[in-house]
Structure 1
């Protein structure tokens, strides 16, 4: 059978071709370069990118989803594209917050109304009927999760309607099953936030952010006033348009705030206001005062007029810190001398006080128990009823006699010899500027010049300018127990100073149980 030639032998060139192909594809070709198929693909040019369509204009806003309270309105747009173009980037729908008048008292909340639609209807394939109320403990807050009243299970009836609050009291709303926050542009989910100057920017970070705003942050120490000077001193002018204003003082002094027309907003006219909220310059001011004497003024802004920050000095100024934001390019010196208001002027003993802005009488805050922290615990012997600051004047009853002298000396916070430099009526009170010459008793520090206040305008006790007197007075404090001023009662002890009067006062000191 081997006589017949093998058919394969007559075809040997085919085997050679096969061997060469295997060599090129599996070994030799791999060592020298890419495979035949790979090189053919690499040679092909990349397919051109498909262009995207363009959005058409936004349609009108729909009506609000709610008839009262908060709701959402919808508007839509179409993507204009051909069959070869890709879809437009972005969302074809946009939702905005619509705020209507408050719902009447007793109205059913929006989520509770949606749960009540399933009351007494078959659920879970059973004939049982339930009353459904909102359930807020489920993972997805934008599902209509309702609890079977009187039972320990809840059921999810799909999604809540658009405009449903995500949770009770939350400003965020559910739209399309998602909980979205409202941007400063009123669009839900836009991510727009106001920048430091209060201007609304684009999504994701408040537009230009702080780059378009200028931050002012300074510490006002200023020129120290002369020893004993008490009065208003300028701190700075805060221009209109400022935001995030904060002024802080940590001393016995009082911050004051004046409008651009010269009217005080806070602590003006020698009258100290209560901490709280005040309306000023188109925004709201928060005034706080802590028991340790720290005062803070905070204004979110933006303000619609210039504001002048001042300080009512009772002691040397240790430093007042203030800060705020202004739009970029806004002129602001931030210095006290930029203000047109009065600055303190040095003066010697006996010289007239500097001119002060006109004072509009303002009612004092209502007195609280303990306002006179160190006041007399009882009336002195033989003394009549104390004169109230009502404007009604009668006969002055100055304290006199040994028993009253001893009583006043032992109970007063300040006993000193003083010369009256000036007298001024402020509202329903009288303010004396006094040069302190000799100190016989003082539970609290006395400087060389003090203001002494009398709670009436009747001239009681009778003190004349240029006269020297022996005065016994108390410390008047506010309800936070921070030092305010020196108070001389209308029927307190104020006698012309003489060497004999000084001797009698020193004798009275020996009669006190505990004399400092």
Structure 2
């Protein structure tokens, strides 16, 4: 087996006398002759930050090149004046250009702590260009999670996501939501000739106030930078990393009917209760969020599903459509009919409950009607929980996320849902008396059909026949 490491030694002095530099600590491998080398690194490097260098100070790489001024090199007695050359392949070699000449020479590695290139955060260590993780260690790759914790797992905050669809009766400013103090990774989008507006606690407009449109750009607000973009088409976005140091009020300046303002942010768990109380006081329905993992990002060299434009259900005249959130490719389930049981399913058959009257009853009496793909099923003693991906929404009385849980009563619910199949579901919203649970409930003998183009047509017909 391998040997054992000694304890880490103390950190060395900073490699620089001003500005950013590198500090190193070491440990040693203690092993017997027949043992393998210890697993892991014998050195750790971290960034050390000293007061900024005074104006006119010689940059570290320039200083290293200047050490060779007036000394013969290249096997001749001729001397040169040397300045840094940044066009060579290896950024951490001391590549110096002979002033007045068209050649450069590499004098080996630069000293640890030398910036890889001017104006970047990378530092050279042992001939490699490394960036510091959020823990300050060079090359660790440790990142902050969406909650702002270094190396966290996104479990100390909640993800809040909603589409504001209220249509004002007159043109002007309408409140969309409060963005609470402590919110992170804020994103707001809308596609129309309306305009987003942002207001501070003291009533000062950061963007698009008093009917005057602001230019796209970066704005300071509530202790964070808000990036405002407006494309040539009718599309606007607001993005901010956060955290916000105070509340912000998001508004929309209506000039035409509101097709929807999408907003999302991450909020510390301890702040969600007060935010929910404010939302209820304003009369805005907002379902209880759940901890979520961050979708993989391309920068982390993971495969990300292809994003496609949101699909909008074409409903009856006068009924608002709902935009589908998340990533999904379009795939029809064909004309397969719902099978109530299978040889591998220990549950018995369910009574058949098809027909136009059954469909109309459940569509009109439900809170949510949507197409979903079943990702998994978990059977408990008194109920069954399905994890589903929402693909297309026909009806909703409060926002749906791209992934939801659907609960059904009983260990063997009727109708059953098979994993990896796509269904058209009619569910109800069920809130527990103490307000701690907010669920999507598929009632016993409720409406669940394998999705098909024909089923899609039937449910659109049912939407037009519901009483107002």
Give the TM-score, by structure 1 length: 0.49
CA-CA distance at 1:281 after TM superposition:
2.4
Say whether the 8 Å CA contact 1:249–1:295 is kept in structure 2: yes
- Select 2:174's aligned residue among 205, 225, 233: 233
5+ unaligned residues in a row in structure 1: which ranges? 1-49, 202-206, 344-516
User: Contact 2:26–2:42 (CA<8 Å) still a contact in 1?
Assistant: yes
User: Are the aligned partners of 1:53 and 1:85 in contact in 2 as well (CA < 8 Å)?
Assistant: no
Aligned-partner Cα distance in 1 for 2:3–2:28: 13
Asked whether 1:76 is paired with 2:17, we answer: no
Secondary structure of the 2:272 match is: coil
* Match runs of 1:53-64 below 5 Å: 53-56=4-7, 58-64=8-14
- Is 1:119 matched up with 2:69? yes
Deviations 1:387-432 (A, max 9, x none): xxxxxxxxxxxxxxxxxxxxxxxxxxxxxxxxxxxxxxxxxxxxxx
Distance (whole Å) between structure 2 residues aligned to residue 116 and residue 257 of structure 1: 53
Identify the range of structure 1 (309-318 vs 286-295) with the bigger mean alpha-carbon deviation.
Answer: 286-295
Deviation at 1:142, TM superposition (A): 1.2
Q: CA deviation at 1:235?
A: 1.2
Q: Counterparts of 1:80-95 in structure 2 under 5 Å?
A: 80=30, 86-95=36-45
Aligned partners of 1:291, 1:153: CA distance in 2, in Å? 48
Check 1:240–1:271 CA distance in 2 against 1; reply closer, same or farther (3 A cut): same
In the TM superposition, residue 243 of structure 1 has moved relative to its aligned partner by 1.9
Contact 1:237 1:339 (8 Å CA) reproduced? no
Where 2:101 maps in the other structure, the secondary structure is coil
Note if contact 2:5-2:27 (Cα within 8 Å) is conserved in structure 1: no
Alpha carbons of 1:268 and 1:335: their partners in 2 closer, same or farther (altered >3 Å)?
Answer: farther
CA deviations on 1:239-295 (whole Å, 9 max, x unpaired) are: 333222111233343322234566554445666555443322221112334455533
Q: What SS does structure 2 have at the residue aligned with 1:141?
A: coil
Contact 1:234 1:337 in 2 (8 A): no
Among 273, 290, 296, which residue is 2:237 paired with? 296
SS across alignment from 1:192: coil
The answer as to 2:16 corresponding to 1:52 is no
Aligned to 1:105: 55
Q: Does 1:323 align with 2:264?
A: yes
Change (3 A) 1:63 1:175: same
Structure 2 stretches of 5 or more lacking a match?
Answer: 285-468
| Residue of structure 1 equivalent to 2:332 | none
Q: Which residue of 1 aligns with 2:375?
A: none
Where do residues 330-409 of structure 1 align in structure 2 (5 Å cutoff)?
331=272, 338=279
Aligned to 2:164: 220
Structure 2 match to 1:190:
140
- CA change 1:181–1:289 in 2 (3 A) is same
Offset at residue 189 of structure 1 (A): 0.8
Which residue of 41, 57, 81 corresponds with 1:131? 81
Other structure's SS at 1:112 match: helix
From the superposition, tell whether residues 335 and 265 of structure 1 become closer, same or farther in structure 2 (CA, over 3 Å): farther
Name whichever of 96-105 and 116-125 sits farther off. Answer: 96-105
Shift of residue 313, structure 1, vs aligned partner? 2.7
- Match of 1:232, SS? strand
Provide Cα deviations, 1:78-132, integer angstroms capped at 9, x if missing partner: 4455666544322222111123333333332211211111111111221111111
Provide the rounded CA distance (Å) in 2 between the counterparts of 1:107 and 1:325: 43
State the distance in 1 between where 2:2 and 2:259 align.
67
User: For the structure 1 residues 340 and 262, does the alpha-carbon distance in structure 2 shift closer, same or farther, using more than 3 Å as the test?
Assistant: farther
Alpha-carbon distance between aligned partners in 2 of 1:312 and 1:340, rounded to the nearest angstrom = 22
Q: CA deviation at 1:67?
A: 2.1
CA deviation vs aligned residue, 1:297-334 (integer Å, no higher than 9, x gap): 21111223333312233332221121223456863799
CA distance in 2 between counterparts of 1:278 and 1:340 reads: 30
In the other structure, the counterpart of 1:179 is 129
Contact persistence 1:116–1:133 (CA under 8 A):
yes
SS in 2 for 1:193: coil
Asked if structure 2 preserves the Cα contact closer than 8 Å seen for 1:236 and 1:334, the reply is no
CA distance in 1, matches of 2:17, 2:26: 22
- Seen in structure 2, the aligned counterparts of structure 1 residues 95 and 116 have a Cα distance that, compared at 3 Å, is same
Contact 2:168 2:257 in 1 (8 A): yes
**Structure 1 counterpart SS, 2:63:** helix
Task: Give 1:177 shift.
Answer: 1.2
Aligned residues: 284
Give the superposition deviation at 1:221: 0.7
Distance 1:275 1:140, change over 3 A: closer
Q: Please, what is the CA RMSD of the aligned residues?
A: 3.2
SS in 2 for 1:338: helix
